[in-house]
Amino acid sequence: MVDLFSMLFKTTGLFHLTPGMIVMWMIGLTLIYLAVSKGYEPLLLLPIGFGILLVNLPLAGLMEPNEGLVWRFYHYGIQWEVIPPLIFLGLGALTDFGPLIANPRLIFLGAGAQAGVYFTFFIAHAMGFDLREAATIGIIGGADGPTTIFLATKLAPQLLGSCAVAAYSYMALVPIIQPPIMRMMTTEAERKIRMKKGRKVKKREKLFFPLVSMFIIILLVPASAPLISMFMLGNLFRESGVVERLNHVAQNDLLNIVTLFLGLPVGATMHADSFLQPKVIFIFVLGLVAFSISTMTGILLAKLMNLFSKSKINPLLGAAGVSAVPMAARVAHKMGQEADKKNYLLMYAMGPNVAGVIGTVIAAGIFLTMLS
């Protein structure tokens, strides 16, 4: 009788539970808590947290290759590179390139804020991560979730979970991480700089923008094609004005559906055995370094441009060059309004912000070209 009960017990998950799994439960529950009560990127951190719980339930087998339910989401959605490009389709439909076209020199700020990505790539490599892992860690500095997932899948799938969580956490923490750096790097007078009004952008320019950028970027960095092509297609839906239904579905229903299938499998890559290693701590630290350096270099580049240009740029806009859309732009705007109530930077900040998205995708494309 006792034997029977002990046999029964051994078939339950409880018997196979390890301390590591319980630590992972805590991590998963923390992410769910942050999503629910603090509103930190809930659309992603909530399912990621749940995915972490699921994969750390012994014998459930949801991530069992070829069999598990969540594994199928992971394989057909992420490994097959379907979900991140579809997210970019939706983002393209949501993105207004108007502020960028009106003020093209702000593109440089979006590029300048990618410096953290490369800088961290070298630091991570010097610390002993191999080149592919280092690139994946560096891209966290772009603060772009889908791009991080896209690159991790191709270069270092073993780091996918931790890098994605780092990227999304730092995106959620943009309003906390960036302001002290911005305050340190700018003077009150610089924060008060008001931007000269941009010119009105014509409809035709907005229509040509996705086409022209698609050609230029994919011809120069072919490896960025999966993300850039979908991004620009989504934007073309938006600006063409003739496929309102596709535009609407890309930025609402489809985006919601793929988001739904993104978080869960990403969380489910974080099994205790692969996640609870000292290097995960380094990933989070390096990700934060990457992100902070990107903020700084964006600001420095804006100041540098001011040395040579008559019409001054508010250096806060440089910090908006990290691609967390639209959080980074909002932060720049709020800091500007703190210094001068009647300084409305939001729309100007959207320029470097969307340029930052493109910049991060190009950075990922360059890594892919060099390293795969």
Partner 1 sequence: MAEDILAPLAGKIIKIHVAPGATVEEDDEVLIIEAMKMETPIFAPCDGTIKALKLKEGDEVEEDDLIAVIE
Binding site for partner 1 (CB under 8 A): 197, 326, 329-330, 333, 337, 341-342, 344, 346-347, 350
Q: Please identify, using beta-carbon distances, which residue of 310 and 342 lies nearer to partner 1.
A: 342
Least Å distance between CB 255 and partner 1?
Answer: 15
Give the integer Cα–Cα distance in Å for 150 and 315: 31
Cβ-based nearer residue to partner 1, 211 or 346: 346
Q: By C-beta, is 57 or 347 nearer to partner 1?
A: 347
Q: At 151, is the secondary structure helix, strand, or coil? A: helix
Shortest separation between residue 41's beta carbon and partner 1, angstroms: 14
Report the alpha-carbon distance of residue 51 to residue 288 in Å, rounded.
Answer: 24
For residue 92, give the nearest of 320, 325, 319, 302 by alpha carbon. 325
The least CB distance from residue 101 to partner 1, in Å, is: 14
Cβ–Cβ < 8 Å for 134, 121: yes
In the complex with partner 1, the residue whose CB is nearer, 89 or 329, is 329
Q: What span, in angstroms and rounded, lies between the C-alpha atoms of 283 and 177?
A: 17
Q: Determine the Cα–Cα distance for residues 130 and 156; give it in Å rounded to an integer.
A: 10
- Least distance in angstroms from the C-beta of 61 to partner 1: 40
**Nearer Cβ to partner 1 (302/349):** 349
**Shortest Å distance, C-beta 342 to partner 1:** 5
Nearer to partner 1, 292 or 343 (CB): 343
Smallest gap from Cβ 198 to partner 1, in A, equals: 9
Maximum CA extent, the chain: 89
Nearer to partner 1, 120 or 247 (CB): 247
In whole angstroms, give the CA distance from residue 354 to residue 132: 26
Where are the extended beta strands (E) located within 213-268? none
Q: How far is the CB of 182 from partner 1 (least distance, A)?
A: 17
Q: How many CB atoms lie within 10 A of CB 201?
A: 17
Closest CA to 29 of 54, 48, 55, 49: 49
Q: How far apart are CA 170 and CA 117, in angstroms?
A: 14
